[in-house]
Amino acid sequence: MKRKMATAFALSLALGLAAPGMARTWAITGGTIYTLGPAGKIEHGTLLIEDGRIAAVGTDVKIPGDAAVIDAGGKIVTPGIFDPMSQFGVIEISQVATTRDARQGTDFSAAFNVAAAINPRSVLIPVNRIAGVTRAMVSPGGAGEGHIISGQGVLMDLGSTEDFVHKNPAAMFALLGEAGARHAGGSRAVALLKLREALQDAADYAAHRGAFQSNRRREYALSRLDLEALVPVLRGELPLVVQVNRASDIEAALKLARDFDLELIVAGGAEAWMVADQLAAANVPVLLNPFQDLPSRFETLGATLRNAARLGKAGVLIAFATGDTHNARKLTQAAGNAVAYGLPRQAALEALMLHPAKIYGVADRVGSLEVGKIADVVIWEGDPLEVTTYADQVFIAGEKIPMVSRQTLLRDRYMQALFGDSPLPAEYIKPGND
């Protein structure tokens, strides 16, 4: 009996992870639609999805006869959440080294790319996607010993086990500040020196490939593959995401970007509000965690819950990233906290959904509910920034996602064992899902 139950559980888990909706045309009607595009907020609107893309959005949309209609009356419809710095598919259990593929201690740094290690069947994916997370940047999770450059990240969707990577590479990641100093031997100055040396070597390599290949060039600090990987960064084709928190370290990263004409993205930015005007003037976005408010390290002494509001007011493009892949679903709570401390509500939704797409150069495809864009759509029971609100239904690339995860299956399994066919107690039932 136990073996049969385990087999059924495994089968239902597999189906929940991979089974797409069957209909190709969907009409979501009657909801309040936050398009995050030129159409703005639409009351009692209709969103039409055809062949994975948004075909129409508005109050007078003609619904095809073959469309499956979902009544979203009294509910809120938004784009999907875009996690701008995650480790989906390359981490499973933090304390089990064999399930962590985001870190590496090899001879390679810039050439390291997480794409080949991604497991699209990770149980962490459905846990977060049924909470509205539809796309993510999968980033290398810190450098190996001696590495200041962590490697390359890729963009993926959370709705498929095939063709799930959509931009590879999408960014290069590096460490400065305390983490960079630790990997450089103890000093921020050495970390910055090593990063400069790597970029200088890559520039020299790009200009003298022929001489290098015929052994007529000096020895470089990095391998050929690492140098090749850095060339797009120097050309401005690939952004450099630098993890840094202290205001002075952010200023050092800004100077580095000016010196090499880099497309810089600041990640962390606990003290970014102190240099908000400089960030805005340089058009450098910040990936920040609105929960960060304690001086847990010397480089975060200036952390404040008003960081997001102050950066937004200064004109800095911000996106929310908690860095917690296991609980990326808490991004909505983080956004709600930012609103409570002064960030406008519209700006918070944009930081969850639209701004990550802008930062990584894919806003022409995702991030807002506009005709022609990929249909990543979430129907919410109520205000998505309220901690008690659930996602009622999620679509990724136009596919209706099963609202099932390992956690919901375990809940249902043990509820059945406890209560059998008796009605479940009201406190165990998700609102609107009996």
Helix/strand/coil percentages in the chain, nearest 5: 35, 25, 40
79 falls in which pLDDT band (50, 70, 90)? very high
Percentage above 70 pLDDT, the chain: 90
- For residue 170, pLDDT over 80 is answered with yes
Amino acid present at 413: R
Tell me the average pLDDT across 203-211: 93
Pair 241, 142: CB distance under 8 Å: no
- Classified as helix, coil or strand, 4 is helix
Cα(78)–Cα(209) distance, rounded to whole angstroms?
48
Sequence-distant (6+) residues with CB within 8 A of 187 are 181
- For residue 325, pLDDT over 60 is answered with yes
Given this model, what pLDDT does residue 242 score? 97
Amino acid present at 63: I
- Residue 135 forms beta bridges with which residues? 82, 157
Pair 338, 310: CB distance under 8 Å: no
Cα(404)–Cα(418) distance, rounded to whole angstroms?
20
Amino acid present at 33: I
- Classified as helix, coil or strand, 335 is helix
Given this model, what pLDDT does residue 13 score? 47
- Residues constituting the chain: 434
Pair 290, 338: CB distance under 8 Å: yes
Helices (DSSP H) in 63-187: which residue ranges? 124-129, 177-184
Tell me the average pLDDT across 144-156: 84
Say what the pTM is.
0.91
Helices (DSSP H) in 39-176: which residue ranges? 124-129
387 falls in which pLDDT band (50, 70, 90)? very high
- For residue 103, pLDDT over 80 is answered with no
Q: Which residue did the predictor score with more confidence, 242 or 142? A: 242
- For residue 3, pLDDT over 70 is answered with no
Given this model, what pLDDT does residue 424 score? 65
Q: By mean pLDDT, which of 270-274, 372-376, 410-414, 425-429 is the weakest?
A: 425-429
Pair of tokens at residue 339: 């609103």
Pair of tokens at residue 142: 């810190």
Pair 36, 78: CB distance under 8 Å: yes
287 falls in which pLDDT band (50, 70, 90)? very high
- Residue 91 forms beta bridges with which residues? 100
Enumerate domains of the chain plus CATH numbers. 2-79+390-428 (2.30.40.10), 81-365 (3.20.20.140)
Given this model, what pLDDT does residue 378 score? 98
**Most confident option among 181-185, 214-218, 320-324:** 320-324
Closest CA to 8 of 426, 412, 430: 412
Q: For the chain, give the longest Cα–Cα distance.
A: 80
Tell me the average pLDDT across 118-126: 96
428 falls in which pLDDT band (50, 70, 90)? low
C-alpha dihedral, 377 to 382 to 385 to 390, nearest 10°: -70
pLDDT tens across 51-62, in order? 999 999 999 999
Closest CA to 267 of 423, 121, 434, 150: 150
- For residue 419, pLDDT over 90 is answered with no
